[in-house]
Amino acid sequence: MIDSKFKIAILDDNIVDARIIEKYLRTNFPLALVELFENDSRMIKAISVDKYNCVLIDSHLNGCCVSEVIEKINNKNIRIPIIVMSGNTFDNNLCKEVIKIGAINFF
């Protein structure tokens, strides 16, 4: 069971999609703390200051590339599980790229 110390950061510039994911997590893991971020700078600042257990990142962000976000996290030496998610068609090349640079999963 996940306790209240389990914090999840969600980076998605589509607030509707982010809210759907947030609702799912809050329903299935009611003690987890879920925080939404619409831009990478705010999320990276938050996860570098506060303890998060996991980051979920949308694979198609406006204004930046998911690979760049992962590289920024790596460059700050933040060690956190990163999961990249896509509501679009599966992109095998992107999947391989983000796994290679540090994501633990792509779905």
Per-residue pLDDT 10s for the chain (107 aa) are 555 578 999 999 999 999 999 999 999 999 899 999 999 999 999 999 999 999 999 998 888 899 999 999 999 999 999 999 987 767 788 889 999 999 999 88
pLDDT at position 66, please? Answer: 94
pLDDT at position 79, please? Answer: 94
Predicted structure pTM score: 0.89
What phi and psi values does residue 47 have, to the nearest 5 degrees?
-75, -15
Question: Which has the closest alpha carbon to 35: 16, 69, 12?
Answer: 12
CA distance linking residue 77 with residue 59, whole number of Å: 21
Three-state DSSP at 9 gives strand
Number of residues that make up the chain: 107
Q: Is 103 left (phi over 0), alpha (psi -120 to 50) or beta?
A: beta
CA distance linking residue 102 with residue 73, whole number of Å: 9
pLDDT at position 4, please? Answer: 53
